[in-house]
Structure 1
Amino acid sequence: MSKYKIGLFGFGCVGKGLYETLTTNNDLDAEIVKICVKNRDKDRSPISKDKFIYDPEEILNDENINIVVELIDDAKAAFDIVKKSLEKGKAVVSANKKMVAENLPELIELQQKYNTPLLYEGAVCGSIPVIRNLNDYYASEQITEVKGIFNGSSNYILTKLFQEGQSYAEALKEAQDNGFAETDPTLDVGGFDPKFKLSIVIQHAFGIAVHPENIFNWGIQNISDQDIEFAKERDLKIKLVAKASTIDDQISLLVAPHYIDSDNPLYHVENEFNCVLINGKYASEQTLIGKGAGSLPTGLAVLADVASLTKDYSYNYNESRPLTITEGASEVYLRFDDVNDIDLSLFESISEKFIGQKHGYLIGKIELSDLKNILKEADHKVNVVFTSGKDAEIEVSKLTYSYA
């Protein structure tokens, strides 16, 4: 009999990945004894029907279960499960980035109150041990910036757009067929998924709690053929980048498409892979790359958390740094259908502008708050791509030619 008995909530893509990685791993003294699911009629073969239950209380009230693994889609229900588990002294593993991001301060309090750990490596960037590295290896580092590709689904789609010339609809369908994107892809392509992940990363990198609602996000769903053509003409790519950067006592946060040049490590990260760049005072820039989507990579991250719990591992939450969230000015490429939809006076400067018969664009510097207003007013009629380089913002205009 195994020493560690697991009660598993949810048996979707990640749940199946956990089950496979655990049952084919002979080195871990743990086993899944109960799996709570909603659908009674779904075929779960070759797994025995005896393992499946339909009442959460059967796991929560089972004194023999000492580890709860929460892998369901519903963030509200997931929080209820995690909270009750911690209150009952059961260690918890979760891969629900929305649930963790929206409730992290309370989850930290619950862990401290009941002296029971919660681990959630699988919630951030799949198989890359981001949280573990920030919590342990970089504990003594003075981190200045964390940024990268935090969403494998959107990166897979962008790869297909650039490398194979697929349409957005074709690339999205292929991502869904391969299990990298959900039937409703809004969380991925809209930049919400990486925003939840960034919120969690900020806690471990900078010691501050930032609710996802306070992080700006703009996704890839509005990227057009014109935006891609612009990039290809200048040997650039578009990547959906999550970024937290500090200057002195201020921190700027955003998730948005960025033009990336070939000197940037993110330029070479394709398909469902994620990449996290950590910048610090002592180690400078460090690069972590791995699969950010898929059943087995994410299942492995969850399994690693389970293994850590068997060794009494828990997170250390550092004291908050005195950082103030700022919405400073950034240089952006803004593509529009009609220039009359854009209040050009909101830009601090405009370095390039092109107006054609069917579309136009401008490159300029603008405060994030003003950019939000433009995007809100124009909605689907515009798209924004931030300009970026390896270590600092670069001006795309320096790489372009002027249109008459």
Structure 2
Amino acid sequence: MKNEINIGLLGFGVVGSGVAKILENHQEDLRHKLGVPVEIKKVLVKDQHKKRDTALSSDIFTTDLNEILEDPSIDLIVEVIGGTCEAKEAIESSLRAGKGVVTANKDVMAEYGPGLLQLADDNKCDLFYEASVGGGIPLIRTLEDGLASDRISALTGIVNGTTNFILTKMKHDKMSYEDALAEATELGFAEADPSADVDGIDAARKMVILASLAFSTEVLLEDVFVRGLKEIRDGDLELAEQFGYTVKLAGSAKKNSDGIEVAVEPVLFPNSHPLASVNNEFNAVYVYGDAVGETMFYGPGAGSLPTATSVTGDIVAACRNLLMGVNGKRPHAPQYERKVKSDETKLARYFHRIRVRDEIGVLTKLTAIYSSQGASLATVIQHSDKTETDADLIFITHQISRKQHLNIVAELNQTPEVIGLLSHYRVEGE
């Protein structure tokens, strides 16, 4: 029986320092839960002599990963380096050295997760990654354990705090996209280069991880349909509000007998839907299970201590496995073969905002396009432009396939009376 657990911490940035702080401040609680102390033995950093605000001794910092991997007293590796290549190599080296790993790295797990999980199985090691999605929300543990006996049919949610903060400011404070992004950057919610967030890539990586777990199948980043905030046009948020909707950049994953579909894009939620009221940097994920029905998980999606809390939760789980001698004994192989839906079987309602010439017969001509594609319309409203020569037509369809939607878009763009399809959104949550 081990009388202590020693950790090798890779990285000491925002999350790494948060993990160290929690481990330092919660030693009594951890000892009570595990029966042994949990200590950080070594910390991998780029600059060993940099001045740091920490109670950790300066001699535990190192720039040499091998010094950590070759230390037999270190039981567990916590990877919070960030990035992709260096972190992936560090995780692989740790697993090959027979040391379990806790990581917060969504980029690595989204792109290389299946291979790393297989490597963990091969080396009888644990690989935990709760903090890779949802910050302080225990989503992955819920999908793996809490809902393990249920069959998940769909999940949808807000999994990127930066874009949710921007949309909240645009809606409630009437900010422009540029001003909202500038405030998000100033507050630390957005990176200097925010493209991964605002283009939907960050959320897509998280949806790959969640969908793979929820459906017990391999999901690739290339399977995710992605549209970012730049698809939102001036006036769209106000129009959505007039119709009783809120625009959110949301991830969705659905599964039925036709296969899976995963998407990240701006969508319209009815104002009565719980996700419509999730504001600022908060995340929330709505899960649909055959047995449990509908459940929602809500909390801070980023930040030093929320993310570090999830990392520490994984540390506790990994320590328990080590103490009981059951580490590396949970198989990670997917249950089902990868099967992705075709556009003919992806069904949704759609919101179309179309700028047209304000002429007699235009409405009839456009509705005929929808009819020819087998699409029925739930809502048809005209907004006249101030020039009185153009108008905006707002169409909301009943449920149609993505193939029908694409065909309609193509026909609209070829119609002389159509100045342009200004915007289009999926309508969720109804």
Superposition TM-score, scaled by structure 1 size? 0.85
User: 1:399 maps to what in 2?
Assistant: none
CA RMSD of aligned residues (A): 3.1
Out of 12, 20, 44, which is 1:36 matched to?
Answer: 44
CA contact (8 A) 1:2 1:31 kept: no
- Give the distance between the partners of 2:316 and 2:305, measured in 1 at CA: 16
User: 1:114 maps to what in 2?
Assistant: 123
1:198 is displaced (CA, Å) by 1.1
Is structure 2 residue 134 aligned with structure 1 residue 132?
A: no
- Give the distance between the partners of 1:369 and 1:101, measured in 2 at CA: 30
Alignment map for 1:1-400 (pairs within 5 Å): 3-26=4-27, 27-28=29-30, 29-39=37-47, 42-47=50-55, 48-312=57-321, 317=332, 319-321=334-336, 324-326=339-341, 327=343, 328-334=346-352, 348=373, 349=375, 351=377, 352=380, 363=395, 367=402, 371=406, 383-389=423-429, 392=430
Further displaced range: 90-99 or 362-371 = 362-371
Change in Cα spacing, 1:353 to 1:301, as seen in structure 2 (3 Å) is same
Q: Which is higher, the Rg of structure 1 or of structure 2?
A: 2
Secondary structure of 1:325's aligned partner: coil
Secondary structure of 1:204's aligned partner: helix
Change in Cα spacing, 1:36 to 1:162, as seen in structure 2 (3 Å) is same
Change in Cα spacing, 1:12 to 1:162, as seen in structure 2 (3 Å) is same
1:206 is displaced (CA, Å) by 0.9
- Give the distance between the partners of 2:264 and 2:404, measured in 1 at CA: 14
CA contact (8 A) 1:153 1:293 kept: no
CA contact (8 A) 2:353 2:424 kept: yes
Count of residues paired in the alignment:
383
Q: Which amino acid aligns with 1:57?
A: N
Secondary structure of 2:271's aligned partner: coil
CA contact (8 A) 2:159 2:284 kept: yes
1:41 is displaced (CA, Å) by 6.9
Secondary structure of 2:261's aligned partner: strand
Secondary structure of 1:86's aligned partner: helix
- Any idea what the Cα deviations from partners look like across 1:198-223, whole Å, max 9, x if unmatched? 11112211110111122111111332
Secondary structure of 1:245's aligned partner: strand
Gaps of 5+ in 2: 31-36, 322-326, 358-365, 414-420
Change in Cα spacing, 1:93 to 1:383, as seen in structure 2 (3 Å) is farther
Change in Cα spacing, 1:16 to 1:384, as seen in structure 2 (3 Å) is farther
1:338 is displaced (CA, Å) by 9.1
1:62 is displaced (CA, Å) by 2.1
- Give the distance between the partners of 1:239 and 1:360, measured in 2 at CA: 22
Q: Which amino acid aligns with 1:36?
A: L
Q: Which amino acid aligns with 1:367?
A: R
CA contact (8 A) 2:350 2:427 kept: yes
Superposition TM-score, scaled by structure 2 size? 0.80
- Give the distance between the partners of 1:297 and 1:101, measured in 2 at CA: 21
